[in-house]
Structure formats: C-alpha cells, structure tokens
C-alpha cells in the first residue's frame, strides 16, 4: 500500500511511476478522498472542542441560576455530541474508501527497472552454464519412458479435473528428494529458518501481501472464511504482521516447503501439456524481512540462494530483470531465474525473487524500532521492507532434471547432489525404477 503523505507531496511523480507500469493517473481521485477525509476530521475536532467548551459552561450557568442559559448550553452539548458522532462516522467511511482505493494500486518500480509492456522487454543480466546438448532429439518430460508409469494425469483428472497431476513410486520420491535438498541447502548453508505454515489463511493475510482484493479470481476460496494459499509468501510474510520489531533482530529469513494452489485464471490454453502449469503444486519459498537500507543487498543475496540450487544440480539457467510491465503487483524489482528445458528448447521460469519495499509492510502494519540515537529515550519507528522468492518451484525443478539428464532410451540420470537423498541411486530407468 502507498503512503498518502508521499502522494500528497509529489502527485506528479506518483502518477509518472504508475505510467511506467501502464496504469492510469490515480493521484487526483486519491487526493480528493484524502481531502474529504481530512476535512471531516478537522470539522469533527472543531465540533468536539465546541462541545467541551459548552460542557464547561453548563455548570456555571446552573450555579448562577440562569435557567435559560443552562438549557441552551445543555442542548448545545447534546447537539455537538450528535454532530461529532456523525462527523466521525463520515470520516471513518472516507478513510476506509481511501484505504480501499490504495489497496488496488500496484507498487511503484525502482527508477532503474527497465521500461516495457511485457516479457519481451525483460533484460537478461547473466547466464550460468551452456544449454544442454544431446546426440539425439531431446523430449519433453512427459514423453520420457522413465515417467510413463509414474506420472499420471488421467487418474488426477478423474479425481480433481484438469491441471492436476499424480506422481507415483520413484518419481514421487525424486520430487520429494528435490524439496528436501532445497530445504537442507537453504537452512544449512544459506542461513534461512525452516518454517512449517498453514495452507489455509484468512482474508487479512492475503490483503497484507497484496493478493486481495485485486486478484481474488486467481485464488481458491473454500466454504467459510479461509482461502488456500497461492504461495508460502503469504504465510511467511505475515508472520511479522502487526509487530514492531527491534532493528537489531533483523534480518529475518524464512523458508517453507508447502503446497500451493492457483486457479490459473487468464492462462487458458497455456502450457496445458505436462506438469508445468498446475492448479496444485509444491514450492520451497524464501521470505526476508529487513531494514529499508538493507533490502537491495538482500534481493541479490536471495537471488543467489535460488541460483545456487540450480548450480548444485548443474542445470543451466539465465537470470533476467523484469520490465515494469511484467512485474507482479507488489514488486518494486523482480529477478526471474529461467532454467533451460531441452524438450522445449528454451528457458522457462523456475523462480521469481522480488523486493517489495515497504508496500506489504504498510498493508500489514509491520514495523521496526530503530536503535535510539544519543539523547533519545526511544528509537524512531519505521516500516520494514519485505522480499520473497522461490527457492525453487519443486515441480518445475523436477521437469528441468528430467529433461536435462535424459538419455536416448528415455531413462534419466540422477544429479550427484540428489543421490544421497535417493539411497545412492544414479539412474531413473526407462522402467521407472531407481537404481
């Protein structure tokens, strides 16, 4: 959410930043709501002062025996009491209207984020490894003999409909091994705190991270007051909602391996083959809570943590910075990591790492208290900065392993980094058996 004070001070800069995201100017409507709210608050305060002044005179009029003045003042007090209540109610409505409007406006990109309307304007900033080449024509993951008996879309469709999958046997074990490998790397080498979180959340959690109110069509709501999480970004970030953190305790770095649920609204016809785009999938998510001055460096660190997983698996990838028109709603800067998929002969997204500035923190009321300066009893209060990133999407990483390590007979070699998680197995055979 945006700071109305900052918009008030420089509305032209606010609208110019929104224009870079392809959004229409918002400051005139926001400032009109703000002016209405502030006027109602001023009038309420004036009416309260008048009521208090009249209240002080009531006793004096009674004591002096001036019955007419006493009745006039008593009526004035009652009138002002009703006036204050009405103005406060109107001010509250205006405040809620302003907050609701601010909740639907995307975050502002950093000045150095490249301009552009869509993914075609994203800028590659580095590559690791060379695209895997074969002496045969590589196939997509779902075409390999190794997964013929262990990747079951037909049964999943019978159970749940389209865009669900069922993994069995060795493939399910390989999927689990990937997630465990990611968690172990992040907790034992990257300094993240492993966290187990719910996958059902209340409205407030999704409001805090920006999925509501604007993107409810992308979510799954269950009967009652709960939603299924689209990512553990929601739960991990909201850990600090409503808190004032000691500056010296930061950064907080969390990771969680969870189920994720997305309706994939607006993606009809895209990636319908295989398991690239599913309604239900697993992801190891990373979230950092930092001081404002540390968030830029933290984004670089987080991105390096995600890249490190692919490096250990020896999967080629590239990293791109998203342009203004391709960034997510809550991001100020986003790096996408795209793994090489030989079966598609292209790089595909496997992680997004984003810095949100204080955008989510303002929605969640997540703050920090600065260390007191000399002469101060208490340090100043500031909003924290939040960051999130995939470390990685487990199903997409499984696709990358299957396609980059495939053999001509449809079997799949096991990356060295995963072998300890699979009892030393080095091959997923064409018969779907680990050996």
352 tagged catalytic: yes
Catalytic residue among 20, 74, 277, 362: 277
126 tagged catalytic: no
27 tagged catalytic: no
374 tagged catalytic: no
390 tagged catalytic: no
Catalytic residue among 21, 37, 173, 262: 262
Catalytic residue among 51, 173, 253, 396: 396
For the chain, give the secondary structure using H, E and C: CCCHHHHHHCHHHHHHHHHHCCCCCCHHHHHHHHHHHHHHHHHHHHHHHHHHHHHHHHHHHHHHCCHHHHHHHHHHHHHHHHHHHHHHHHHHHHHHHHHHHHHCCCCCCCCCCCCCCCHHHCEEEEEECCCCCCCCCCCCHHHCHHHCCCEEHHHHHHHHCCCCCEECHHHHHHHHHHHHHHHHHHHHCCCCEECCCCCEECHHHHHHHCCCCCCHHHCEECCCCCEECCCCHHHHHHHHCCCEEEHHHCCEEEEEEEEEECCCCCCCCCCCCCCCCCCEEEEEEEEEEECHHHHHHHHHHHHHHHHHHHHHHCCCEEEEECCCCCCCCCCCEEEEEEEEECCCCEEEEEEEEEECCCHHHHHHCCEEECCCCCCCCCCCEEECEEEEEEEEEHHHHHHHHHHHCECCCCCEECCHHHHHHHCCCCEECCCCCEC
CA–CA distances in Å: residue 178 to residues 169, 209, 391: 15, 27, 11
Catalytic residue among 27, 170, 288, 352: 352
Catalytic residue among 143, 194, 349, 365: 349
35: Cβ contacts below 8 Å, ≥ 6 apart: none
Tokens of 399: 């696709």
Tokens of 254: 């969390």
- The residues annotated with a catalytic role in the active site are 262, 277, 349, 352, 396
């Amino acid at each position: 959410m945006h700071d109305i004070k900052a918009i008030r001070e420089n509305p032209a800069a606010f609208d110019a930043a929104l224009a870079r995201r392809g959004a229409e100017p918002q400051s005139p409507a926001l400032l009109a709501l703000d002016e209405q709210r502030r006027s109602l608050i001023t009038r309420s305060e004036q009416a309260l002062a008048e009521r208090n002044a009249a209240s002080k005179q009531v006793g004096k009029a009674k004591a002096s025996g001036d019955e007419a003045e006493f009745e006039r003042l008593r009526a004035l007090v009652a009138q002002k009491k009703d006036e204050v209540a009405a103005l406060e109610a109107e001010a509250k409505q205006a405040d809620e209207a302003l907050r609701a409007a601010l909740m639907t406006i995307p975050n502002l990109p950093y000045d150095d984020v490249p301009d552009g309307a869509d993914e075609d304007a994203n800028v590659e900033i580095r590559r690791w490894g060379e695209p895997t080449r074969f002496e045969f024509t590589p196939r997509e993951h779902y075409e390999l003999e190794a997964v013929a008996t262990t990747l079951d879309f037909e049964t999943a469709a019978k159970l749940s409909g389209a865009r669900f999958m069922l993994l069995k046997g060795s493939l399910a074990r390989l999927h689990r091994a990937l997630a465990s490998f990611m968690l172990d790397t992040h907790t034992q080498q990257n300094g993240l705190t492993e966290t187990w979180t719910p996958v059902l959340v209340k409205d407030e959690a999704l409001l805090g991270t920006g999925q509501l109110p604007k993107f409810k069509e992308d979510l799954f709501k269950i009967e009652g007051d709960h939603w299924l999480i689209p990512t553990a970004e929601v739960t991990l970030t909201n850990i600090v909602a409503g808190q004032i953190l000691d500056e010296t305790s930061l950064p907080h770095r969390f990771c969680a391996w969870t189920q994720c649920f997305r309706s994939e609204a607006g993606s009809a016809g895209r990636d319908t083959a295989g398991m690239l785009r599913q309604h239900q999938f697993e992801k190891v998510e990373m979230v950092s809570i930092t001081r404002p001055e540390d968030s830029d460096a933290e984004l670089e660190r987080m991105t390096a943590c995600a890249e490190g997983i692919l490096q250990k698996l020896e999967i080629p990838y590239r990293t791109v910075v998203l342009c203004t028109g391709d960034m997510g709603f809550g991001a100020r800067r986003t790096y996408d990591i795209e793994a090489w998929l030989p079966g598609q002969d292209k790089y595909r997204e496997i992680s997004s790492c984003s810095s949100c500035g204080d955008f989510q923190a303002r929605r969640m009321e997540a703050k920090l208290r600065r260390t007191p300066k000399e002469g101060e009893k208490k340090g100043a209060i500031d909003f924290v900065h939040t960051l999130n990133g995939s470390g990685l999407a487990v199903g997409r990483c499984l696709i990358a392993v299957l396609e980059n390590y495939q053999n001509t007979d449809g079997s799949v070699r096991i990356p060295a980094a995963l072998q300890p998680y699979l009892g030393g197995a080095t091959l997923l055979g064409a018969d779907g058996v680990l050996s």
